[in-house]
Amino acid sequence: MDRSFYQFVLSFRGGPKEDEKAVFAEAMFHDHSFPKQEVSFDRLSRYLEEKADEQMSVAVFDELFDRYRVSR
Q: What is the pLDDT of residues 23-41, one digit of tens each?
A: 999 999 999 999 999 999 9
How many domains in the chain? 1
Q: What is the pLDDT of residue 15?
A: 93
**With pLDDT > 70 as the criterion, what percentage of the chain qualifies?**
97
**C-alpha torsion 2→5→10→54, nearest 10:** 180
Range of the domain at 64: 5-71
The residues near 33 (Cβ < 8 Å, ≥ 6 apart) are none
pLDDT surpasses 60 at 2: yes
Q: What is the pLDDT of residue 60?
A: 96
